Amino acid sequence: MGTDVVVALNHMVAPALDVSGFFDLAADLGCRGVEIRNDLGDGTVAGGLAPEDVARLAAGRGLAILSINALQRFNDWSEARAEEARALADYARRCGAAALVLVPVNDAGWQKPPEERRAGLRQALAGLAPILAESGIVGLVEPLGFEICSLRSKREAVAAIDELGLGDRFRLVHDTFHHHLVGEGDLFPERTGLVHISGVEDRTVPPAEWRDANRVLVGPGDLIGNAAQIRALRAGGYRGPVSFEPFAAGVHADPDIAGALRGSSDHLAAALAR
């Protein structure tokens, strides 16, 4: 994708691989960073591996662990959520991960008036800040574009972070799929800590009905303008990682996922060069 673009892989590209196999895939593709997850298989971080083992496996392949993905429902703050955050932050510290992705409530049954929702966001950020600081990691807030999501706008996230004076502790995830869905004009490249990329090519499904299952690797039929988004972020000064995160079952079942990822990366490199 160009030597100046930090290409990374999220474990969602090949969720059937164990961590060692996933790291091998990333290294073989020349990636410099990886994201591990806590929602694959049995729902443990990195398939239940000890964080020190994850650190060793990554170091042996020259990979940086960019994030643990993710603390879910982070803005529905409670003592139970705080305990979950502490455990994930400690794991991140011990495995050498730089950040913890923070995903808001995405549940039609969880609806709050706007001011109550914004107050809950501020409460969660304030509660997370010392937990993240203790482990020396950053929180990556990822607004989601789905209409039911409790935090769709990056501007709303930035406003809450700035109101609390926590700009050094929290950054944004710019997810190209969610950015396209929400239609928010501002990109906030200077506040972005990570970019997730995936494409949508199915023209038979209206955008309002797009879901994670529609997210494939970025190719010539991409409908969400990945190259344009990356170009705009870079024009605004973003120089951080660009991480592949497709959710479609067809991608996960691809017997040549390495070849598919190379093809997607080559496509994006050519598009960015134009």
pLDDT, one tens digit per residue, over 153-212 is 999 999 999 999 999 999 999 999 999 999 999 999 999 999 999 999 999 999 999 999
Q: Could you tell me what percentage of the chain is helix, strand and coil, using 3-state DSSP and rounding each to the nearest 5?
A: 45, 20, 40
Residue 179: give the domain boundaries: 28-263
Quote the pLDDT of residue 111.
87
pLDDT-derived band at 4 (thresholds 50, 70, 90) equals low
Residue 27 phi, psi dihedral angles, 5° rounding: -65, -40
Report the number of distinct structural domains present in the chain: 1
- Kindly state whether residue 180 falls inside one of the protein's structural domains: yes
pLDDT, one tens digit per residue, over 207-247 is 999 999 999 999 999 999 999 999 999 999 999 999 999 99
Place of tokens 């990333």: 26
Judged against a pLDDT cut of 60, whether residue 63 lies above it is answered with yes
- Kindly state whether residue 272 falls inside one of the protein's structural domains: no
pTM of the model: 0.96
- End-to-end CA distance of the chain, in Å? 12
pLDDT, one tens digit per residue, over 263-274 is 999 999 999 988
- Kindly state whether residue 16 falls inside one of the protein's structural domains: no
Closest by CA to 242, choosing from 224, 218, 220, is 218
Q: How far apart are CA 129 and CA 141, in angstroms?
A: 12
- Kindly state whether residue 79 falls inside one of the protein's structural domains: yes
- Kindly state whether residue 19 falls inside one of the protein's structural domains: no
- Kindly state whether residue 172 falls inside one of the protein's structural domains: yes
pLDDT, one tens digit per residue, over 102-145 is 999 999 999 899 999 999 999 999 999 999 999 999 999 999 99
Q: What is the mean pLDDT of residues 46-61?
A: 98
Q: Which CATH number covers residue 146?
A: 3.20.20.150
Quote the pLDDT of residue 3.
44
- Kindly state whether residue 268 falls inside one of the protein's structural domains: no
